[in-house]
Chains A and B, each alone.
Chain A
């Protein structure tokens, strides 16, 4: 997957988790959590969705890698290059 495709996947997963999610003013480098008012339970859902869709196992100590949209893409790019 390309970086843009990974970004779209992340946004699609978030939209799927939260019917109120708004991406209009989303800053790709700022924490998703604060901007979208997500909590740790929502973050678990992002991880679980990635596991369900791509059989990706993300260990708990690597969850901080998913903090912002850009860091998500950086972290997932090598893992999803053949997806």
Chain B
């Protein structure tokens, strides 16, 4: 008999959610996490006594408790967590800012419609039509790739508006350059423009504790500092995993959440890992400023998506950072978040992994400092200068992300090729997480849930 019925590689959100499902229904489950803290891309760390989150800007898919069909509430039911007892803070309002137009949106979809009525009066009826088409589209039934850009052009015929709508949807979850799959577009459109942004009360640390406690409550086992070095094959089946220290743990089934390039490397899968390498990676800078400074900079904006050009160049940049467009997030600007001594400003720009990778260690440190300054000054041109007010700062480059999360090339949205059904050539090895196709925190968790439901419970 195998040591476990299911081994899950990776203690990120998809892995923990998968673990809750399998442990809840009695499968003997082991979750392996390489670090001493769970969360994967959405984790936290300590510097100088300050806890900082690594990834979380906001969660998407906001829904009131009681709305049973909403993805967030379905997810909570699946994890057997009480939605009523889960305190959330909704966004105030976010904004898409281009040179010649700006659109605000909130968790009330009517705001965006009113903004479009003001800025693009000729397109407002076509935008209503777009919303109907998005509502009617089924993105979960496998379908061939379709261009979201073509769909938008046919439906709206208003190029600037199309570019503006694409910016938040791409930057919060598109692994492809230039265009995105229509199914992915529909999922992102609903989760951002129809449902909207919120934060869980507290930080990602409390949210992760809620999840890991639930997993352990159901009898799931969790091992930290457990780096998997090999997914062990035996004939045409997977036998288990080997840890970096040499220990072999056997399992009836293995679920990998480490992405396609990582899974290919661990299994010796005969596939070109390169084809599954994402091009889109980012650098993020977290700045702590006195609370009043952040409040004065951009009152009541939660997330600001800016572009200095009329078209969106969503692609790997040929410079270290692309400062022409980006995201500025104010994690303190959610309704009901209490004032603290310091507030964060997080800004994100597309980065070029290959350039960062090529830098020698000494040069890398200098480049990181220089580009952090450039990114903050650049964000300052959008929201007003704040570099002088920064009391603490840290940046993550694509290399930081690759090193800590094993996301190949720091591509946080993973492979442009998605393994939507979660299967592999081995009947007892499955894929969940970013490379299975759902993105964001809610999406990652639904991915773990869905793959366990489809392949391991039935």
Contacts and interface: CB of A to CB of B under 8 A. Distances in A.
Interface string B215-230: 0000000000000000
Interface of A: 17-20, 37-39, 41-42, 44-45, 48, 51-52, 60
A42 B25 contact: no
Interface in B414-458: 449, 453, 457-458
A19 B84 CA distance: 8
A19 B458 contact: no
A19 B82 contact: yes
Interface residues of B, number: 18
Given A19-B83, A37-B69, A51 B25 contact: yes
A76 to B, nearest CB: 18
Given A48-B457, A52-B25, A41 B78 contact: yes
Contacts of B82: 19
Contacts of A45: 77-78
A37 B77 CA distance: 13
Contacts of A17: 77, 80
B210 to A, nearest CB: 15
A15 to B, nearest CB: 12
Interface of B: 24-26, 65-66, 68-69, 74, 77-78, 80, 82-84, 449, 453, 457-458
Given A19-B83, A48-B25, A39 B453 contact: no
A75 B370 CA distance: 70
A42 B69 CA distance: 11
A52 B458 contact: no
Nearest to A49: B25
Chain A interface main SS type:
helix
The 6 closest A-B pairs by CB, nearest first: A37-B68, A48-B25, A52-B26, A20-B66, A44-B453, A52-B25
A41 B25 CA distance: 14
Given A18-B77, A48-B25, 7 more contacts: A17-B80, A38-B68, A39-B74, A41-B78, A44-B453, A44-B458, A52-B25
- The winner among A18, A38, A45 for most chain B CB atoms within 10 A is A45
A20 B77 CA distance: 10
Nearest to A37: B68
Contacts of A39: 68-69, 74
Contacts of B66: 20
A18 B68 contact: yes
22 contacts: A17-B80, A19-B83, A19-B84, A20-B66, A20-B68, A37-B68, A37-B69, A38-B68, A39-B68, A39-B69, A41-B74, A41-B77, A41-B78, A41-B449, A41-B453, A45-B77, A48-B24, A48-B25, A48-B457, A51-B25, A52-B25, A52-B26
A18 B83 CA distance: 10
Contacts of B77: 17-18, 41-42, 45
Contacts of A18: 68, 77
Contact of B457 (A19, A20, A38, A44): A44
A41 B80 CA distance: 12
Contacts of B458: 44, 60
A52 B66 CA distance: 27
Contacts of B65: 20
Contacts of B26: 52
Contacts of A60: 458
A52 B21 CA distance: 13
A19 B449 CA distance: 19
A71 to B, nearest CB: 20
A45 B74 CA distance: 12
Nearest to A60: B458
A2 B65 CA distance: 35
Contacts of B78: 41, 45
B438 to A, nearest CB: 14
A17 B80 CA distance: 7
Contacts of A37: 68-69
Nearest to B65: A20
B458 to A, nearest CB: 6
B165 to A, nearest CB: 28
A20 B82 CA distance: 10
A48 to B, nearest CB: 5
Nearest to A63: B458
Nearest to B73: A20
B324 to A, nearest CB: 42
